[in-house]
């Protein structure tokens, strides 16, 4: 049974940060907007994310006297994307990202601050900056959402201090790098949480949200201010094209199919295809598993990609994801990304031959790309890869779900984690035997890294050799904050999968955000943003926030185009 719903000027599919920003921009242009969301919660992966956005030449940094510029950012983007992306799209991004940010800051409840010390991911490239382009959301008081807080996809406990207290990326970095005053800062955050008596009576959740949860909550609140409807449990199925132009879409809602007619256009923002094993097998390098993805289960299954393809849309980068090594933890519904810990001194990553194959502190995209390359070279020995560390590391640093043993000793770890999440032995040889890694190779590698730790120079992979590696290093460890010896038993291993935080290929769009066919002609009235579109970053990850920044910016670009066409 098919029913016809109301018509709208614009329908936005999905409720990630890009989609919700686009709906705000459209509503502010006097357009009648609807958001449709498949899940029973809004926010998508964006709500679980770090919420960082990479906005070169932004107004926050300028106000601090920062020395970024359009030309510098263009030089860097061209170098990092290596000619793989149409330059017009790079210009569109750099032109619009700062304007988009200024608009949201001036007109909505969303507020950001510069993560001053967060460097671009490729510091060796021309135009790179050692900070100033990545923005970190301010904490947001979710009481402002009223009852709508119940529909907000909750943050992952892994992104909260002690699994429950909201903290910004700047707080987390200060604690991880053990910068001066970090203990006091943690005490203050804990006290603020505990002393919030009125909220404590209502919920264990912190009143404040942080990171991606703050981003999504403040956008949702801004949409409530504008009375923009958001339909949950509404599954987008198909686009309707009339005379070469998008005139509507079909959704499944309350058990029936509904047609929603649109006057100006549809903005697809329904995420990538990382949750579809069929599409992973079809497009991504092998081996690959849905369970290795750190994104929420079940929703991002490539609906936008398939609907666009059905109308002859061109695609790009389908064999790429926003790679990140992940660890699976029993009874958790999604994998955990291992972003920072790889740079901590005293942990190395080896393949089945016991050999290192990459700078462990490398950006997560490059890290997993190296896993695939080494897996190919070694005949299947690098997926999974193994993180190896010793008792000293275990005492002092976190790795995945293992908090430092000074806080969480092995005796307090869930029993089910032993030999699923971590392996432990008194000698490296015994450890290698447990995980089926070549023992002589591992001994040899550890001997070599211990030498590098003493000299401060990683002669094989230059770990700790640039400002990005050192961002997550331990500033108290000398001479290289990313290198320490592995020598004090017991020894530990953890399994790393070739995971992701979303796919990065999808419908090809032009510099106006419009979906194009193979011949470059536009599918009129159809726009794609976020991970259902082919990333403007090509195969690169120029800085923290390179997925959300473009999703929100191309939402801004798409709406401006709709306004011009109106
Ligand atoms: P999503 O945010 O996943 O939103 C897609 C929405 O569409 C979902 O709500 C989904 O339910 C809905 N949907 C899917 N199919 C349909 C359908 N058929 N009908 C209707 N709705 C549908 N990126 C950054 O830039 N900065 C960071 O700091 C950062 N940190 C991260 C940390 C973690 C732990 C993870 C997992 C990811 C992180 N990322 C970060 C990546 C980033 O979160 C994603 O790339 C981004 O959220 C993708 O945005 P999106 O809008 O395309 O998809």
User: Tens digits of per-residue pLDDT, 125-163?
Assistant: 999 999 999 999 999 999 999 999 999 999 988 889 988
Residue whose Cα lies nearest atom 40 of ligand 1: it is 49
User: Tens digits of per-residue pLDDT, 61-75?
Assistant: 999 999 999 999 999
Distance 300 CA to ligand 1 centre (A): 8
Tens place of pLDDT per residue across the chain (566 aa): 789 888 999 999 999 999 999 999 999 999 999 999 999 999 999 999 999 999 999 999 999 999 999 999 999 999 999 999 999 999 999 999 999 999 999 999 999 999 989 999 999 999 999 999 999 999 999 999 999 999 999 998 888 998 899 999 999 988 887 888 999 999 999 999 999 999 999 888 899 999 999 999 999 999 999 999 999 999 999 999 999 999 999 999 999 999 999 999 999 999 999 999 999 999 999 999 999 999 999 999 999 999 999 999 999 999 999 999 999 999 999 999 999 999 999 999 999 999 999 999 999 999 999 999 999 999 999 999 999 999 999 999 999 999 999 989 999 999 999 999 999 999 999 999 999 999 999 999 999 999 999 999 999 999 999 999 999 999 899 999 999 999 999 999 999 999 999 999 999 999 999 999 999 999 999 999 999 999 999 999 999 999 999 999 999 999 999 999 88
Cβ proximity of 228 and 525 under 8 Å:
no
User: Tens digits of per-residue pLDDT, 413-447?
Assistant: 999 999 999 999 999 999 999 999 999 999 999 99
Residue among 306, 501, 546 whose CB has most ligand 1 atoms within 8 A, to mutate: 501
Distance 49 CA to ligand 1 centre (A): 8
Strands 522-528 and 514-516: antiparallel
pLDDT at residue number 1: 79
Distance 456 CA to ligand 1 centre (A): 39
CA distance 164 to 448: 40
CA distance 374 to 87: 32
Q: Which two tokens stand for residue 51?
A: 């919420």
User: Tens digits of per-residue pLDDT, 34-47?
Assistant: 999 999 999 999 99
How many CA atoms are closer than 13 Å to the CA of 210, on its beta-carbon side? Answer: 21
Cβ proximity of 142 and 249 under 8 Å:
no
Q: What are phi and psi of 322, to 5 degrees?
A: -80, 85
Nearest Cα neighbor of 265 from 13, 519, 548, 517 is 13
Please provide the distance, in angstroms rounded to a whole number, between the alpha carbons at the two ends of the chain: 33
Question: Which position has the token pair 């050999």?
Answer: 355
Q: How far is CA 379 from the centre of its chain?
A: 30
Hey, is 502 helix, strand or coil?
strand
Hey, is 107 helix, strand or coil?
helix
CA distance 142 to 150: 10
Same fold: 1-322+502-566 with 326-498: no
ipTM of this complex prediction, to 2 decimal places: 1.00
Distance 377 CA to ligand 1 centre (A): 32
Question: Which position has the token pair 């697809």?
Answer: 268
Cβ proximity of 38 and 299 under 8 Å:
yes
How many CA atoms are closer than 13 Å to the CA of 131, on its beta-carbon side? Answer: 14
CA distance 270 to 14: 4
Atom of ligand 1 nearest to the CA of 54: 25
Distance 22 CA to ligand 1 centre (A): 14
**Domain 1-322+502-566 carries which CATH code?**
3.50.50.60
pLDDT at residue number 482: 97
Interior angle at CA 554, CA 144 and CA 561, nearest 5: 105
Cβ proximity of 322 and 499 under 8 Å:
no
Cβ proximity of 558 and 18 under 8 Å:
no
Residue 560, exposed/middle/buried by CB under 10 A (0-12, 13-18, 19+)?
A: middle
pLDDT at residue number 204: 86
Residue whose Cα lies nearest atom 43 of ligand 1: it is 46
CA distance 337 to 187: 26
CA distance 246 to 243: 8
Distance 269 CA to ligand 1 centre (A): 9
Q: Identify the residues whose C-beta falls under 6 Å from ligand 1.
A: 13-16, 18-19, 36-39, 44-46, 48-52, 235-236, 269-271, 294-295, 299-300, 303, 322, 337, 501-502, 530-531, 544-548, 551
Cβ proximity of 562 and 342 under 8 Å:
no
Cβ proximity of 526 and 246 under 8 Å:
yes
Residue whose Cα lies nearest atom 51 of ligand 1: it is 16
Q: Which two tokens stand for residue 197?
A: 């008596």
CA distance 27 to 40: 23
Residue whose Cα lies nearest atom 41 of ligand 1: it is 501
Distance 469 CA to ligand 1 centre (A): 26
Residue whose Cα lies nearest atom 39 of ligand 1: it is 49
Residue 463, exposed/middle/buried by CB under 10 A (0-12, 13-18, 19+)?
A: buried
Domain layout of the chain by residue ranges: 1-322+502-566, 326-498
**Domain 326-498 carries which CATH code?**
3.90.700.10
Interior angle at CA 268, CA 497 and CA 313, nearest 5: 90
Atom of ligand 1 nearest to the CA of 549: 25
């Amino acid at each position: 049974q098919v029913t016809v719903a109301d018509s709208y000027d614009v329908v936005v599919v999905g409720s990630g940060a890009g989609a919700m920003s686009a709906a705000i921009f459209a509503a502010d242009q006097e357009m009648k907007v609807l958001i449709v969301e498949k899940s029973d919660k809004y926010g998508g992966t964006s709500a679980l994310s770090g919420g960082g956005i990479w906005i070169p030449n932004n107004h926050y940094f300028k106000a601090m006297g920062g020395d970024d510029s359009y030309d510098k950012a263009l030089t860097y983007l061209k170098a990092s994307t290596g000619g793989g992306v149409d330059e017009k799209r790079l210009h569109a991004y750099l032109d619009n990202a700062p304007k988009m940010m200024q608009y949201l800051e001036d007109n909505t409840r969303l507020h950001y601050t510069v993560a001053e010390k967060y460097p671009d991911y490729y510091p060796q490239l021309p135009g790179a900056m050692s900070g100033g382009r990545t923005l970190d959301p301010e904490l947001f008081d979710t009481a402002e959402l009223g009852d709508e807080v119940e529909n907000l996809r909750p943050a992952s406990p892994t992104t909260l201090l002690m699994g429950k207290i909201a903290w910004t990326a700047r707080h987390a970095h200060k604690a991880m790098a053990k910068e001066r005053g970090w203990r006091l800062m943690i005490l203050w955050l804990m006290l603020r949480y505990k002393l919030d008596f009125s909220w404590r009576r209502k919920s264990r959740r912190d009143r404040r949200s942080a990171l991606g949860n703050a981003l999504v909550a403040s956008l949702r609140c801004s949409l409530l201010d504008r009375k923009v409807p958001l339909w949950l449990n509404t599954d987008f199925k198909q686009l309707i094209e009339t005379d070469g132009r998008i005139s509507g879409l079909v959704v499944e809602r309350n058990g029936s199919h509904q047609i929603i007619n649109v006057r100006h256009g549809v903005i697809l923002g329904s995420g990538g295809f990382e949750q579809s094993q069929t599409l992973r097998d079809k497009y991504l390098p092998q081996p690959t598993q849905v369970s290795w993805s750190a994104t929420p289960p079940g929703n991002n299954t490539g609906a936008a990609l398939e609907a666009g393809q059905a109308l002859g849309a061109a695609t790009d980068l389908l064999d790429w994801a926003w790679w990140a090594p992940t660890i699976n933890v029993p009874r958790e519904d999604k994998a955990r990304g291992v972003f920072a810990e790889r740079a901590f001194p005293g942990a190395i990553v080896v393949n089945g031959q016991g050999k290192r194959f990459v700078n462990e502190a490398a950006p997560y995209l490059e890290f997993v790309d190296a896993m695939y390359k080494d897996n190919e070279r070694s005949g299947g020995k690098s997926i999974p890869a193994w993180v190896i560390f010793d008792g000293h590391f275990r005492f002092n640093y976190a790795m995945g779900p293992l908090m430092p043993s000074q806080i969480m000793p092995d005796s307090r770890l869930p029993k089910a984690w032993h030999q699923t999440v971590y392996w432990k032995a008194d000698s490296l040889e015994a450890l290698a035997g447990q995980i089926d890694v070549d023992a002589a190779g591992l001994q040899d590698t550890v001997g070599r890294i211990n030498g590098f730790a003493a000299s401060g120079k990683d002669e094989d992979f230059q770990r700790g050799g640039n400002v990005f590696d050192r961002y997550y290093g331990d500033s108290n460890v000398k001479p290289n904050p990313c290198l320490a010896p592995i020598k004090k038993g017991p020894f530990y291993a953890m399994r790393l999968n070739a995971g992701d935080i979303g796919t990065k290929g999808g419908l090809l769009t032009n510099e106006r955000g419009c979906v194009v066919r193979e011949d470059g002609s536009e599918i009129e009235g159809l726009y794609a943003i976020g991970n259902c579109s082919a990333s403007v970053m090509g195969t690169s990850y120029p800085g923290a926030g390179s997925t959300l920044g473009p999703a929100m910016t191309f939402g801004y670009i798409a709406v401006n185009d709709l306004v011009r066409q109106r």
